Amino acid sequence: MAESMHAALLALSERMLAAAHAGDWDAVALLEAERGQGITSLSIAEPGVLALFRTLLAHTEEVRELARCQRERLGADLGEHQHRHRALSAYLVAGAE
C-alpha cells in the first residue's frame, strides 16, 4: 500500500515538474494541491518515505526555479510594454500639437 502511494506521489510530482517545464502554471497549481494532499497522508515511519521526500523536495525546488525565471521574463515583458506605451503616448501627444 505505501509503495503504491509513494509511486503515485512521485508520478504526480513528475507531472507537476513536466507542466512547469511546459509553462502550464494552471496545471502546476492543480497538481501541487493534489500532491500536497497526498503528502499529508504520509507517515515519517514508512519505509522509503525520507527518500521520497528528498525527491519531492528536489522537484519542488526545480519548479520554484522555473517559476522564478518565468516571473523575471514576465517582469521584463511588462517593462518593455510600459516603455512602448509611454513612447506611443508621447508620439501621439507630439502629433496632436
pLDDT digits (tens, 9 = 90+) for 34-68: 999 999 988 888 888 999 999 999 999 999 999 99
As for how many domains the chain has, the answer is 1
Q: Is residue 92 part of a domain?
A: no
- DSSP, res 1: -
Q: Is residue 36 part of a domain?
A: yes
Q: Is residue 8 part of a domain?
A: yes
* 57 Cβ contact partners less than 8 Å away, ≥ 6 residues apart: none
Q: Is residue 94 part of a domain?
A: no
Q: Where in the sequence is the domain holding 23, given as residue range(s)?
A: 2-71
Q: How many CA atoms lie within 13 A of 52 on its CB side?
A: 23
CB 81 within 8 A of CB 64: no
Q: Is residue 44 part of a domain?
A: yes
Q: Is residue 97 part of a domain?
A: no
Q: Is residue 91 part of a domain?
A: no
Q: Which three cell numbers stand for residue 71?
A: 516571473
Q: Which three cell numbers stand for residue 73?
A: 521574463
Q: Which three cell numbers stand for residue 22?
A: 511546459
pTM of the model: 0.72
- Integer Rg of the chain from CA: 21
pLDDT digits (tens, 9 = 90+) for 74-95: 776 676 777 676 767 776 777 7
Give me the mean pLDDT over the 27-31 stretch: 97
Q: Is residue 33 part of a domain?
A: yes
Reduced to 3 states (helix: H, G, I; strand: E, B; else coil), residue 55 is: helix
